[in-house]
Structure 1
Amino acid sequence: MIKFKYVILYVQDLEKSMNFYKETFNTEIKFITPEKDYGELITGDTTLSFASLELANSNIKEGFLQSNAEKKPFGIELGFVTDDVESLVEKSLINGATLYENIVEKPWGQKVAYIKDLDNYLVEICTEIH
């Protein structure tokens, strides 16, 4: 059996990043290690996890590109579905996100917007596709 289980974001400030997602997307913190270098949110079947840059560097010996607010976000996104895109985008901005692409309605009727989170990761906020 193979199952897609989690995504880990490498972040500067683990608790700050996790609290952004907790407060913005109404998730709950599952746990944070005593060292505060790894944590998980309860987000359904696929867990959204966070690792400090220090922990990530200790695990990934070959190195990696670090997310950087001075540059464009990576070509990957996290997606959150809601019935009220406008309110969730506004809430994310109040909590420290940056608007990257304003709300548009796609030809198939879906509303979509893009924000950058506190660590410059791209997040799509959208309605369901019907």
Structure 2
Amino acid sequence: MKLAMKYVIMYVNDFEKTMKFYRDILQLPVKGEHGTYVEFDTGATTLSINTRESFKDITGLETPVGSMRSQTFELGFVALDVDETVENLRRQGVEVLLEPVTKPWGQTVAYVADPDGHYIEICSEM
């Protein structure tokens, strides 16, 4: 079996705030928009958001409500200059969870949070 990751969908509490975060602050181009379902172009893998209510209406499944500080995944974005990117995000009011640090393997990483508290790694190439 050969699988290829094509997209990730995050279910969010505040659609408008999250939409503005990914579109305006992270400056991800909108690839498609269908009501509360939005796809962002991030390269080979599409990042999508939808409301928790819409997900439940479509599937009948539940999603946790509220900001999650105990995460089971993170989104990783490679930046040319991690320090500059983090400072730019901070100036726009983004919560910085971990300041940029260079790991023993040479990669610089930092963590910020989106409006729902999802962890976002801003990192240099490996």
In the superposition, the TM-score normalised over structure 2's length comes to 0.86
- What residue number does 1:9 align with? 10
Q: Any stretches of 5+ residues in structure 2 without a counterpart? A: none
CA distance in 2, matches of 1:8, 1:63: 14
User: Counterparts in 2 of 1:1-130, with a 5 A limit?
Assistant: 2-33=3-34, 36-68=35-67, 71-129=68-126
Secondary structure in structure 1 of the residue aligned to 2:98: strand
Identify unmatched segments of 5+ residues in structure 1: none
- Partner Cα distance (2:59, 2:27) in 1: 31
Q: Please tell me whether the aligned partners of residues 96 and 117 of structure 1 are also in contact (alpha carbons under 8 angstroms).
A: no
Amino acid at match of 2:69: K
Point out 4+ residue stretches in structure 1 off by more than 6 angstroms: none
Count of residue correspondences: 125
CA distance in 2 between partners of 1:31 and 1:15 (Å): 15
Check conservation: 1:23, 1:95, Cα contact below 8 A.
no
> 57-66 or 83-92: which moved more?
57-66
Superposition deviation, residue 73 in structure 1: 4.0
Q: 54-63 or 37-46, which moves further after superposition?
A: 54-63
Cα displacement string for residues 58-106 of structure 1 (whole angstroms, at most 9, x for unaligned residues): 23424122351xx524121000001211121122223332111111110
Which TM-score applies when normalising by structure 1? 0.84
Task: Assess if the C-alpha contact under 8 Å between 1:24 and 1:88 holds in 2.
Answer: no
Tell me if structure 1 keeps the 8 A contact 2:13–2:65. no
Partners of 1:17 and 1:94 lie apart in 2 by: 17
Identical aligned residues as a percent: 38
Distance change (3 Å), C-alpha of 1:80 and 1:104: same
